[in-house]
Amino acid sequence: MFTLTRWRRAAAAAAGLTLAAGFFTAGCGAPADADALTAGQRNCTITTSVGRIAGVTAGNLCTYKGIPYAAPPTGDNRFRPPQPAARWKGTLRASDGSRVCPQYADPSSEDYPSNQKVFTNEDCLYLNVWAPKSGRTHRPVIVYIHGGAAIFGNANEARYDGSTLATTGDAIVVTLNYRLGVLGWTELGGLDPKYRGSGNNGLRDQIAALTWIRQHVADFGGDPGNVTAVGESEGAFSLSAMLATDHPQRLFHRAILESGTGYLDRSASLEKKNTASFFATTGIKSIGQLRALSTVQLLGLQEKALEASAGAIGRATYFGAYVDGTLVKAPTIDRVSQGNARGIDLIVGSNRDEFRYFAQFDPRVLSITQPQYSVVFPTVLAKQRAAMVAAYQGARPGASEGDIVLAMINDQAMRVPATRLAAAQSRFARSYVYQFDWAPNNAKSLGAIHTAELPFVFGTLRFTGIPGGAEALQSDRTRIAALSKQMVTAWTTFARTGNPGDRWPTYRTSTRATMIWNYSPTVVNAPRDTERALWNGYTFPAVDLNT
């Protein structure tokens, strides 16, 4: 497969923040006497069972940034499951929106809170809250889990600002960090049984955050009995994995999966293969070796392992949730089909041109060939592959080989698994399917690519990583803002009621109603159904290359 230069990062040194006494690091929100608070902070101060928290006034909202939901995953906690955050004395001034879990910065695709080239502070398990000021209680709660291939991303990106969602939906909005890369998603049980399960520690971080939210969100005015979890890309894969854990209803009551389902969670065999590859490439042979490494050294070894992986697909599936049989009991589609997520209302969807996103980092993506596609094409469908290719070509006269391959990958990885998951869950709760079709109408545009819906559903209209997006906003702001308003309304209405609106019917296999998001949102029954049906012979288990 092609290699994406976006992930090639030379190792860089950076100074980490020094741990201060207690549970906070230099520069983060720290306990303070109530007398030291400003008037705006006093107006946004709440009391929880772990301590008082002072937020910041932002219009009609209170914002709380940098609340620890778990103990720092440092020292003895490194590579361990998240531990409870300690209580604090005094009042925590929650105004620190700088936390980013360790990663090499990729500002072309992420919207970082600073211009650092590398982030090295492992004390990063913090969340942010946006809450309307009025004294109302039992507001719906919207929790967002960011994407980034379990390598990039953070809760403090400006494009994930929760102000519009909180205001429009009269809701409590939460964003959260979780450990990335080798620190959160490498299975170390083979080196030491005490570390068994470490390959899903990033998922455990997210579960710990959702548990903290359930325990404390009422203090912010939220309803712990009405939590909607939203994830995009890796965040959606993670939420899908949670649907395969025992009693996911304990964590959230509704879910919105944007461009990601359990199909791209990894199988146990792929996790084992990736772990073996990491050890072989880096020369790591013991837990002691890993624990002795600095954060910068770990990131360097991580990059070395990613460089040795099988191109873009290998990188995209190297880290992330996997079916371990203990936490994630079985592939998501299997567990959902059995009713494991009973009662959890669902919105799931994809973007029309997801994988053209990567062409901004490597133009060769647009020229991908059928032989290159063989790396991930399901072997169970090999005998009918020629007929499938012919069908996709017939529906796209004049399309290039690259266009056909990208359309097939889009259906295999995103669109068809979304319809399959919605159909399975429709027996046990309300399910809705969408396709996002908006694309910039200018020369820079790559189409309705991966992440293109994010500026719209958050209402921030920040087009980081979307070529031509900023130019489209400048030339067509009125229509873009109107589409965003409709999507924000649908997402928040769903969070409040479980129904995104009367114009959007539930998904049934008899009709396959799909909301097409564009300047004039329209429901279409069974869009491109002939192509969808070509995949009927594939079960969409957890991903394992060449199976």
pLDDT number for residue 23: 32
224: enclosing H helix or E strand: strand 222-232
**Is a pLDDT exceeding 90 seen at residue 546?**
no
Q: How far apart are CA 191 and CA 287, in angstroms?
A: 6
Residue 136 confidence (pLDDT): 86
pLDDT in the model for residue 312: 65
* 95-to-29, 127, 171 alpha-carbon distances in Å: 6, 11, 20
3-state secondary structure of 367: helix
Q: Distance between CA 96 and CA 370 in Å, rounded?
A: 48
User: 143 - beta bridge partners?
Assistant: 174, 229
Q: Coil, strand, or helix at residue 228?
A: strand
Q: How does residue 39 score in pLDDT terms, banded at 50, 70 and 90?
A: low
User: Contact 316/109 with Cβ under 8 angstroms?
Assistant: no
Q: Where are the alpha helices (DSSP H) in 395-442?
A: 401-410, 416-425
Positive or negative torsion for Cα 296, 298, 300, 302: negative
Q: What is the pLDDT of residues 404-459, one digit of tens each?
A: 999 999 999 999 999 999 999 999 999 999 999 999 999 999 999 999 999 999 99
Q: How many CB atoms lie within 10 A of CB 114?
A: 10
Q: Parallel, antiparallel, or unpaired: how do β-strands 254-258 and 345-351 relate?
A: parallel
Taking each helix axis from N to C end, the angle separating 401-410 and 385-394, rounded to the nearest 10 degrees, works out to 110
Residues with catalytic function: 233, 354, 450
**What totals of helices (H) and strands (E) does the chain contain, helices first?**
17, 17
Tally the residues of the chain: 547
What is the chain's mean pLDDT, rounded?
93
Contact indicator for 320, 404 with CB cutoff of 8 Å: no
CA distance 393 to 413: 19
Please tell me what DSSP assigns to residue 397: T
| Residue 122: partners with Cβ closer than 8 Å, 6 or more residues away | 16, 72, 73, 74, 78, 101, 102, 179, 183, 295
Q: φ and ψ at 268, to 5 degrees?
A: -60, -35
Res. 40 pLDDT band, cuts 50 70 90: low
What is d(CA 387, CA 405) in angstroms, rounded to the nearest whole number?
A: 14
Start-to-end C-alpha separation, the chain: 16
Q: Which residues contact 82 (CB under 8 A, 6 or more apart)?
A: 70, 71, 73, 125, 201, 204, 205, 208
| pLDDT value of residue 32 | 53
Q: What is the pLDDT of residues 490-502, one digit of tens each?
A: 999 999 999 999 9
Look at residue 547 in the predicted model and tell me its pLDDT.
53
User: From residue 511, how far is each of 140, 507, 514, 524, 526 by CA, in Å?
Assistant: 30, 7, 9, 9, 6
Contact 466, 453 (CB under 8 A): no
Say how far apart CA 471 and CA 26 lie, in whole Å: 39
DSSP 267: P
Q: Does the pLDDT value for residue 9 go beyond 80?
A: no
pLDDT digits (tens, 9 = 90+) for 133-157: 988 899 999 999 999 999 999 999 9
Residue 498 gets the label, from left (phi > 0), alpha (psi -120 to 50) or beta, of: left
Residues near 527 by beta carbon (within 8 Å), at least 6 away in sequence: 435, 512, 514, 516
pLDDT range class, residue 6, cuts 50, 70, 90: very low
Domain 5-533 in this protein, CATH class: alpha beta
More confident residue, 4 or 50: 50
